[in-house]
Structure 1
Amino acid sequence: RTYSATRSQLPLIPAFAFTSHNSQGRSLNVACIDFTSCQSIQSAYVMLSRV
């Protein structure tokens, strides 16, 4: 028997996540911020001030 197969690959981009407290002391060039996780306006400020 002869079998034939086709493979395709998807590009993978390494990604990681920080909590707002974990990112403290870091300067980030780019950030994707999920505001649904904000518990207060102060926590939104903390997230925005890192970028």
Structure 2
Amino acid sequence: MTVVGKIVADLMQRVPKKPIEVKADLQNSTASQDDCSWGGSITNSPNGRRSP
């Protein structure tokens, strides 16, 4: 387990959350990663290139 994983696990043990809130957090983190990948693909697409 990574250091970040340990910190997250400790926080979750100290501050109990409702299952719904935990699911929302997981979805938000996944969505943010998807947004980053989408941004990269749009930038790399021929139509998305800026003119020099």
Of the two structures, which has the highest relative contact order with CA contacts closer than 8 Å and spacing of 6 or more?
1
Question: Whose helix fraction is larger, Structure 1's or Structure 2's?
Answer: 2
Please give the TM-score of this superposition, normalised by the length of structure 2: 0.26
Larger Rg: 1
